[in-house]
Amino acid sequence: MAGTAALAAVVALSACGAKTDAGGSSDKAAQADVSGDTVKVGLLNSLSGTMAISEVTVRDSLKLAIDEINASGGVLGKKIKPISEDGASDWPTFAEKASKLIKEDRVAATFGCWTSASRKAVKPVFEKNKSLLFYPVQYEGLEESPYIFYTGATTNQQIVPALDYLKSQGKKKIYLVGSDYVFPRTANKIIKAYAKANGMTVLGEDYAPLGSTEFSTIANKVKAAKADAVFNTLNGDSNVAFFKEYKSAGLTAKSMPVVSVSIAEEEVKSIGSQYLAGQLTAWNYYQTTPGAANTKFVKAYKAKYGQGKPTSDPMEAAYTSVYLWKAMVEKAKSFDPEKVKAASDGITFDAPEGKVTVDGASQHIRKTARIGRIGTDGLIEQVWDSGKPIKPDPFLKGYSWASGLS
């Protein structure tokens, strides 16, 4: 009897989980506490550990957006009260803290996570509790969750344009270096499929554990391979050790450029532009991106956190995500996650990177791809862009070479 009941419960639960529309399951949704004149939101970032170098800036940027929104009257008449938690660069901690934010703090939505490992760790928590996560970092794609909004780039908005750029520059032989976890491994699978279909050769593929600081052998291997370019998917401060070793090995942006997808202005500043000048990055936003919205964002950020602080792509995507959530809530006239989701399609915002639009079906956003070159001043200057926002395609369905993936 008990077994049958348990089975029935499992079936019922999985049916709920599979349901992605707004079909009135609000009674089972996470009970956000919106009784007072404030609405709580969770900020979930690594404030310590190997990822803190990147994630603290995202937290700061989220707080900036929240302050701005509060100053202009809040959301649906309520002031936003952020609850900040430290994921500590540790994936089980992320899941624990996500659960705490949803169940104890009863937040209306959560903003944060950086590594795909942390996102994969919290994904079931948000899905089970039917609570929303706004994820602000570029990632490897091949994922859709009904309770996650992806405001960073998916593969066809970052990695594929970066490969297109390398191809247009005549770089045919590439070497892959990445951190040993889900994002680089999946990204490299996609890169290899692209290379095969586009007449490029992958000369080698090396992974180092997250937080690893010993890169002399990898630098030697890259050097011996005589590649045209290196595609770098290292995350966190392993990049410091890698680029120090890269320069020590005598490799330069001229002899063998490195395209990085996880180094933005903040990381450039702390790694040191003397190691990075001339190297390439692929993102959707740089501090130097033109436009009034960006001028305002950069000015506000520096006023709050110091003139020496640069802005970066994940910070911009995080900042934008709070405004997108606000617009969705206002359109839905409710904080209920199901109603917010239902209202999401077509929501636009004049983001610092330019106008972005939410694609309700995939819960990703339309973004412009930009390739940049790191300057000696630590800023990144755009050398190419896609011209218009690219429609998100997380499963790369629009690319025939990607059919074997996922």
Partner 1 sequence: MTVIFGQTFTGISIGAVLLLIALGLSLTFGQMNVINMAHGEFIMAGAYTTYVLQKSISSAGLSLLVALPVAFLVSGALGALLEWLLIRRLYLRPLDTLLVTWGVSLMLQQLARDIFGAPNVQTRAPELLTGNITVIGGDDPLTFANSRLFILGLAIAAVVALSLTLRLTPLGRRIRAVVQNRDLAEVSGISTGRVDRTAFFIGSGLAGVAGVALTLVGPIGPTMGTNVIIDAFLVIVVGGIGQLKGSVIVAFVLGVLQSVLEYSTTVSVAKVLVLVAIVAFLQWRPQGLYTLRTRSLV
Report the alpha-carbon distance of residue 237 to residue 171 in Å, rounded: 27
Output the six-digit token pair for 225: 């391979």
**Chain centre distance of CA 372:** 17
- Of 273 and 382, nearer to partner 1 (C-beta) is 273
Backbone CA torsion sign across 304, 307, 310, 316: positive
Could you tell me the smallest distance in angstroms from the CB atom of residue 255 to partner 1? 11
Q: Does 217 bind partner 1 (CB under 8 A)?
A: yes
Could you tell me the smallest distance in angstroms from the CB atom of residue 89 to partner 1? 9
Could you tell me the smallest distance in angstroms from the CB atom of residue 164 to partner 1? 29
CA distances from 264 to 22, 279, 384 (A): 37, 12, 16
Q: Does 127 bind partner 1 (CB under 8 A)?
A: no
- Return the closest-CA partner of residue 158 out of 179, 178, 141, 177: 141
Could you tell me the smallest distance in angstroms from the CB atom of residue 195 to partner 1? 20
Which residue stretch of 26-34, 147-155, 235-243, 398-406 sits at the interface with partner 1 (rule: CB under 8 A)? 235-243
Between strands 148-150 and 133-135, the pairing is parallel
Interaction mask 164-203, partner 1, x per CB under 8 A: ----------------x-----------------------
Q: Three-state SS for 384?
A: strand
- Of 17 and 272, nearer to partner 1 (C-beta) is 272
Residues 6+ apart with CB under 8 A from 381: 286, 288, 372, 373, 375
Which residue in the set 14, 168, 201, 248 belongs to the binding site for partner 1 (CB under 8 A)?
248
Which residue stretch of 16-24, 129-137, 138-146, 209-217 sits at the interface with partner 1 (rule: CB under 8 A)? 209-217
Tell me, what amino acid is at 8? A
| Number of residues near partner 1 (by CB under 8 A) | 38
Report the alpha-carbon distance of residue 332 to residue 346 in Å, rounded: 13
Q: Does 245 bind partner 1 (CB under 8 A)?
A: yes
Q: Does 47 bind partner 1 (CB under 8 A)?
A: yes
Which residue stretch of 110-118, 183-191, 217-225, 254-262 sits at the interface with partner 1 (rule: CB under 8 A)? 217-225
Report the alpha-carbon distance of residue 393 to residue 155 in Å, rounded: 8
Q: Write the burial class of residue 265 (CB in 10 Å: 0-12 exposed, 13-18 middle, 19+ buried).
A: buried
Which residue in the set 207, 283, 297, 335 belongs to the binding site for partner 1 (CB under 8 A)?
207
Which residue stretch of 9-17, 49-57, 58-66, 147-155 sits at the interface with partner 1 (rule: CB under 8 A)? 49-57
Could you tell me the smallest distance in angstroms from the CB atom of residue 283 to partner 1? 21
Q: Does 216 bind partner 1 (CB under 8 A)?
A: yes
Report the alpha-carbon distance of residue 189 to residue 95 in Å, rounded: 27
Report the alpha-carbon distance of residue 118 to residue 87 in Å, rounded: 8
Which residue in the set 241, 315, 340, 365 belongs to the binding site for partner 1 (CB under 8 A)?
241
Report the alpha-carbon distance of residue 1 to residue 14 in Å, rounded: 20
Q: Does 278 bind partner 1 (CB under 8 A)?
A: no
Q: Does 50 bind partner 1 (CB under 8 A)?
A: yes
Binding residues vs partner 1 (CB under 8 A) = 47-50, 52-53, 56, 86, 180, 206-209, 211-214, 216-218, 220-221, 224, 237-238, 240-241, 244-245, 247-250, 270-272, 274-275
